[in-house]
Structures are given as C-alpha cells and as structure tokens.
Amino acid sequence: MLDRAVQRIGAADTELNITAVQADIRDTALPRDSFDVAVAAATLHHLRGDAEWQNVFSAVHGSLKAGGSFWIWDLVTHEPPVLHELMWRRYGEYLTGFKGPDYREQVFAYIEAEDTPRTLGWQLDRLRAAGFQFVEVLHKNTCFAAFGGVKRGSGHGV
C-alpha cells in the first residue's frame, strides 16, 4: 500500500522528492526538520497511554520543516458519553449494513481489545501541545475524522 501511495504521488508531481517511512512510529527516530508533510491514516488509534500520544505528536512535529504539516485520518471517540453512544450506534449500523451483525461485533470487540482512540478535541489539544501552530478539522463523520496541524513556518504565510 505504501508503494502504491508513493507511485500515485509521484505521478501527480514528478518534481517531488518523496520519502516513505514504514515503521512503528513509537520506535522510529525521525530526522529533525526533514519533511514537508507527514500523514497518519488509521494508525494513531493503536497508541496506548497519553505519553505515547504526546511523544508521537512531538516526534512528528520535530521531523517537519518550518511550515510543514501533519495530517491525520483516524477513528475518534466522543464526549459526553451520550454522544459517544449515539455515534458508535451509527457506526455499528454501518458495519451491520456492510457485512452483517457478526462483523459489527467482531470490529467492536477488536477495538475494545486492541485500540485506544481518543476524542477529536483531545487530539487537537495534543497537536497544539506538541507545537503545531495551526490546527484544523478537515472532515468528521460519525467515528472518523480528518484533521491536522501546521508547524510554525518562516515566511510561507504561516
């Protein structure tokens, strides 16, 4: 999948210098001030404690050049609990319609055992705490959101 992403980006702009990194972000030493863009797609909800989340956001921030950005698409939870229940019920209805009630139960059991998604607001706060100057929500639908932040730049309108 990563190779395909590199091919698609390269085909869209042949002038780009693309560096794809596939690794466990918790154990990877990213080079400082090296990247223009970092993307995390459906991965961060696997992080565990608050310290892991903050370390990852800080590591990505440090790896970005001035004006660089970090864009995330991932599973999110909700507050207050009544809103979380509503959104998860809607997600469950989608999963049931997609592959049936057994599939819904399988997905929910996996999330419960293996994942620790956080609220969108909490993640936006962690981006700010890591040093991202501009933090923005691009899209949110039930239990998924696209969002990110831009590192303070030098002369690029940021």
pLDDT for 23-52, tens place per residue?
A: 888 888 899 999 999 999 999 999 999 999
CATH entry, 2-76+117-151, from 3.40.50.2300, 2.50.20.10, 3.40.50.150, 3.40.50.300: 3.40.50.150
Of the candidates 126, 146, 151, which has an alpha carbon nearest to the alpha carbon of residue 57? 126
Question: Measured between alpha carbons, how far is 65 from 145 in angstroms, rounded to an integer?
Answer: 25
Structure tokens at 48: 């565990």
Question: Measured between alpha carbons, how far is 134 from 17 in angstroms, rounded to an integer?
Answer: 24
Question: Measured between alpha carbons, how far is 49 from 76 in angstroms, rounded to an integer?
Answer: 15
Helix (H, G, I), strand (E, B) or coil at 16: coil
Please state whether 33 falls in left (phi above 0), alpha (psi between -120 and 50) or beta: left
Question: Measured between alpha carbons, how far is 114 from 137 in angstroms, rounded to an integer?
Answer: 25
Of 24 and 82, the one with more pLDDT: 82
Residue 9 has pLDDT above 70, yes or no: yes
pLDDT for the residue 154 = 60
Neighbours of 49 (CB within 10 A): 9
Rg of the chain (C-alpha set) = 17
Domain residue ranges in the chain = 2-76+117-151, 78-116
**Strands annotated E in 29-158:** 35-41, 64-75, 132-141, 144-151
**Average model confidence (pLDDT) across the chain:** 92
Share of the chain above pLDDT 90, in %: 76
pLDDT for the residue 11 = 82
List pLDDT tens digits, range 46-70.
999 999 999 999 999 999 999 999 9
